[in-house]
Structures are given as structure tokens and as C-alpha cells.
Structure 1
Amino acid sequence: MYDIVIVGAGTAGLSAAIYAERAGKKALVLEAAAYGGQIINTPDIENYPGIAHISGFDFATGLYNQAKDLGAEIKFEKVLGIETDGNEKIVKTSGGEYRCKAVILATGAKNRPLGLDNEKELVGKGVSYCATCDGMFFRNQPVAVNGGGNTAVEDAEFLANFCSKVYIIHRRDAFRADEKEVERLKAKENVEFILNATVTKLNADDKGLKSIEVTDKNTKEVRTLEVNGLFVAIGQSPDNTAFANVTKLDSKGYIEAGEDLKTGTDGIFTAGDCRTKTVRQLTTAASDGAVAALAACAYIDAL
């Protein structure tokens, strides 16, 4: 019997575990894959208050060790669903089930695919969703980045440092990314902007990606780009369908919750990128974790 079960070992989930343990509650963190979430793919964090520079892996490892040292239990099991039993919650996983008084859902979000034929088969063979993870495989080779947000622009700038050519493809005529980042990318001589266009086809042989076809949204003209790598950065999507019986999801699958992080089911809270929110940053994930943990503790104390 645990006080709080936290689903997800990203920044929000591990922050929640730290605050829960410091409040004297017994916390269990359940994670389907690896701890840290998507931040582990970031080579240099420079926007977290009080820390000028740190790698995403080091940041996540620090959180993980801090939570464990405080007494949090962390198990690597996939959560399959949640049921309520009076004031108790039953969290069912691939390894069994756990009873607790409160649950914090901090499942994060995953990269959104383009949805093209053979895209899944080409992951690891030219298609990637993480430039910092796979970019170095394409040194001195032409690549493309698809997306218009900060991640896409940052990926293109990173790749331009060692790839021979970088195309950045965006379906609109203006970027959602910070203007400062866009201007910095425009200064790169080996970067070409392709706007009002979408990637419509992936061409490959048995060795991997060879080229992509890009279609202009206005003229319908199709252009073939000879690239060995395509980095997809078109946003993220949550995976909360297993919790639809105990939470309300919006049209995109995010858990509906306000700044109090309550889901609408007593004793079930949420935190981080998996919930409806405007800003999804490292600082807001950590903040959510703290708020959700303290709210869960208050709920337990009132039982």
C-alpha cells in the first residue's frame, strides 16, 4: 500500500516524487521505458533557472537519484489502467497491481509522426525524431528538418554545424519558433528554407532513405530533395487512452486539468506535458510535479 503512485519518471513525475517524499508520504514511480523523459535528448539546457548549462541526461539523472535518495521507489513497468475502490486506487501494470491513496499522472508526450507510408520502417534508417541523438550519423551529408517550432529550428541549427546541407520545411509561411532563433538560423549559409510546403513521400532503397518529396501547398508543385536524413519535429502527442475512465481528455488526448492539477476524479492528479496547458517547458514540468504532489498530500491528509 502506497500513499501516492506516480505514473511517469520524467521531470514532472520525479519532481512529484521528491515533494511527496519530503512531505512524509510513501511514493512509487512507475515508468514504462527509461527515466528522464524527452529531456534526456537535449545536449545543453540553458533555460533552467539557477543552472547556466547542463546536459539533459545529467539533469534527469540528478532528479532520479534525488528522488531515490529521499526514499521514492521506482519500478519500470507499463501502466495499463487505473480503477477506483472507495478511497483507494488500484493501478494495474504489466507486472501486477498496486494500491494507493492518490495517483499523479505524469505520462508526458511522445513525438508526432508524419503518417507517411514506410515512415515507421525507415526509423533508424534515415528518419529520426531526435537530431541531437542521431545527427552525428549524417556528418557531411544533406538532411532535412520538418517543423516550424523551436524544436525544429534548434534541430536545424544543430545539424547545420556538421551536415553539408540542411533543408527546413514548414507548412506555413512563418515560424512559430522564437524570432531570435529563426534569425540565427537564417545566418547559416548551408541552410535552405522551404515554406508553405509539406513532406509527402519518402523514397528509399534497402539501405535507407535516399530522398524526400515536398509538395508546395499553394502551387501543388512537387520537388525532390536528395537527403540521407529526415528529422521530424512537428510536435508531440500524449498517450492517455488508458486513463480515459478516470480522467477527461480533450480532443487531442491531453488530460483536462487547470493549475490545481485536479482531474475531476477525487485523488487523481496530473502533471507535466500530458495535461492541457499553454507552456510546456522544463520549468513548468517541475512546477507541475511540485503542485500535484502537494495537492495529493493535502487530499490524503483530509481522508
Structure 2
Amino acid sequence: MYDIGIIGGGTAGMTAAIYGQRAGKKTIIIEGGVFGGQITSSPNVENYPGIASVSGSEFSMNLLDQAVKLGAETAMEQVTGIRDEGSVKVIETAGKEYPCRSVILATGVTHRHLGVPNEERLTGAGVSYCATCDGMFFRGRDVAVVGGGSTALQDAEFLSNYCRKVYLIHRRDEFRGEDSIVKRLESKENVEFILSATVRDIIGDQAVERLIVNSKKTGKEFKLDVSGVFIAVGQIPKNEIFADVVKLDADGFILAAEDCITSRPGIFAAGDCRTKEVRQLTTAAADGAVAALAACRYIAG
């Protein structure tokens, strides 16, 4: 029997394990993919307080090492569901069951990809899904943002403060994001809108060098010389298997506020998988701590 079963081995999940172990609880982290999550693909992390620069993989391995040294157990298995038996929550995998007094869902999200040539190969070498994380590496250079929602608009605004030129590429004639941000971007001399257009290819040998863009109006293709492309076309939570256990919003994120408490007693949500405004390493770590301490209070009575 575990005190805290943690589903997901990203920053939130591993932080939860650290706090749980330090509180004297028996914890296990169950991860179906790679410990560390998406941050492991980042060559440099420079926005985590107290750490000037570290690779994403090193950051993740340090977290995992800290959790394991404190006594946290790990399992590399794909979770298939949770069975609520009142005071006991049973985490189910393909080949095993893990009875727990409480559960923390820290499943994270996956970024929706464009699915164009070289996107995967150049991820971390000019292709990014987080402007806040990687934007500073492109100071004084030309970049592109792909997307039309508020996240894409916010990314373009953030990058315009550091980059020489920011192209904002959207497949429709109008943006779906906040009109106030659109107006601010329109006033910036180094921001150019490219509407009714899609990225067809990302070109570069060792790093991004240019984009091949297709105009939906003319059907013609043209090149954009850029050093980076920031893709902001949506995030996909992986919470479908928990829909009968906790409440999700319309986009599939777990309904939980800053206290990380879900609709189901004894089950908590931490990190990018829950409803929240800011999804960063710092907020994931904060959620992990909050969720673990909330689980400890739940166990205590």
C-alpha cells in the first residue's frame, strides 16, 4: 500500500514525490514514457529560479535522483485507469495494480504539432513549442510564430521584445485570440502578420534556416528566412482515461484550482494537466508541492 500514487513523471510529479517523501509518506511515480516529460527535449533551461542554465535532461535527472534518494519508488508502466474503493484508490496498469491512499494526477500535456517535414528533427534546434522558455535564445534574430489563438498572440508579443523580426503565421483571415493583443501587435514595427497561410516545410541542416509557406489565397509558396519557429497551435491533455473519475473541462483538462483539489476526494491534479493560466516549470513544481501536501492532509483525516 502506498500513501501517494503519482501518475506522471514530469516536473510536477517528481516534485510531488520529493514533498511526499519528506513528509514521511510512501510514494510511487508511475510513468509510461520518459521521466522528465517534454522539458527533456530542451537543450537549455534558463528560466528556473536559482539555476542559471541547465539542459532539460539534466534538470529532469536531478529531480528524479533527488526523489529516488529520498525513497520514492518508480515504475515504468502505462496507467489504464483508477478504481476508487473509498479509502483506497487503485491505480491500474496493463499488468499490475497499485493500491494507494491518495493519487496525484500529473500527466502533463503534449503540444499539438504541425506535422510538416523536419519538425521533429529540428525540435530543440530552432523549432520550439514554448516562447517563454526559449525566446531569449533568439535575441536580435528573425523568428516566426505559428497559430492564431491567444497563446500564439502572447508568444508573438513576448518575442517582439527581443527579436529583430517576428512573423505571425495563421491559417485563417482573422485571429481567434484576444483582440486587445492583436491591436498591440499591429502597432509594433517588427511584427508582420501572414494570414491565410500554412507552413509546408521547415528547412535547415543543423538548425532552422527558413520556412516554406503556402498562401491559401493564391496557392503559391514563398520562403521566410528565420532562425526559429514557435509553434502554438494547441495543447493536448492526456486525461481521457480519468474522465469517469474526475471532472474535466471542455478541452480535457482536469478541473482543479490552485489548491490542486479535484472533484474526487483523495485525488489531486498537478502541473499542466489541470486547468490553469500559466504552464511553466516553476508552476509545475509549485503544483507538485501543493498537491503532495494536500494529499498528506487528506491521509491525515
TM-score bracket relative to the smaller structure: 0.7 to 0.9
Map of 2:6 onto structure 1: 6
**Partners of 1:197 and 1:85 in 2: how far apart?**
52
User: What secondary structure does 1:185 align onto?
Assistant: coil
Question: What does the per-residue CA deviation read over 1:4-54, in whole Å, with 9 as the maximum and x for residues that have no partner?
Answer: 100000000000000000001000100011111111122222221222222
Match of 1:296, as an amino acid?
A
What amino acid does structure 1 have at the position aligned with 2:120?
Answer: S
1:177 corresponding residue in structure 2: 155
Structure 2 unmatched runs, 5+: 167-189, 203-209
Q: Deviations over 1:258-279 (max 9, x none)?
A: 1111111111000000000011
After the TM superposition, which residues 141-156 of structure 1 pair with which residues of structure 2 at under 5 Å, given as runs?
A: 150=131, 154=135
Q: Tell me the CA shift for residue 95 of structure 1.
A: 3.0
Deviation at 1:185, TM superposition (A): 2.0
Tell me the TM-score normalised to structure 2 length. Answer: 0.77
How far apart are residue 226 of structure 1 and its match?
5.7
Distance 1:146 1:301 in 2: 43
SS of equivalent residue, structure 2 residue 24:
coil
Deviations 1:106-140 (A, max 9, x none): 000001134xxxx3xx6xx52328631x55xxxxx
Tell me the amino acid that sits aligned with residue 224 of structure 1: E
Aligned residue number for residue 221 of structure 2: 224
* Structure 1 Cα separation of the partners of residues 135 and 274 of structure 2: 24
Q: Corresponding residue for 1:128?
A: 120
Aligned partner of 1:264 in structure 2 is: 263
Contact in 2 for aligned 1:250/1:256 (Cα 8 Å) = yes
CA shift, 1:213, in A, is 4.8
Counterpart position of 2:17: 17
The answer on 1:234 being equivalent to 2:262 is no
CA spacing shift, 1:234–1:156, aligned 2, 3 Å: farther
**Distance (whole Å) between structure 2 residues aligned to residue 62 and residue 293 of structure 1:** 19
Residue 43 of structure 1: aligned partner = 43
Aligned to 2:54: 54
TM-score by length of 1: 0.76
Letter of the 2:90 counterpart:
I
Whether the 8 Å CA contact 1:156–1:185 is kept in 2: the answer is: no
Query: Structure 1 pair 268/152, CA: closer, same or farther in 2 (3 Å)?
Result: closer
1:236-251 paired onto structure 2 within 5 Å: 236-251=235-250
Distance in 1 separating the partners of 2:154 and 2:123: 19
Tell me how far apart the structure 1 counterparts of residues 11 and 257 of structure 2 sit (CA, whole Å): 19
Kindly state the Cα deviation for residue 301 of structure 1 after the two structures are TM-superposed: 1.1
Tell me how large the CA RMSD over aligned residues is.
Answer: 3.5
- The CA deviation at 1:230 is 7.9
Shift of 1:83: 0.8
Tell me the equivalent position of 2:73: 73
Partner of 1:100: 100
Aligned residue in 2 for 1:196:
195
In the alignment, structure 1 residue 293 sits paired with structure 2 residue 292: yes
Paired positions, count: 269
Residues 153, 177 of structure 1: 8 Å contact kept: no
Identity %: 44
Counterpart code for 2:131: N
1:150 positional shift: 2.0
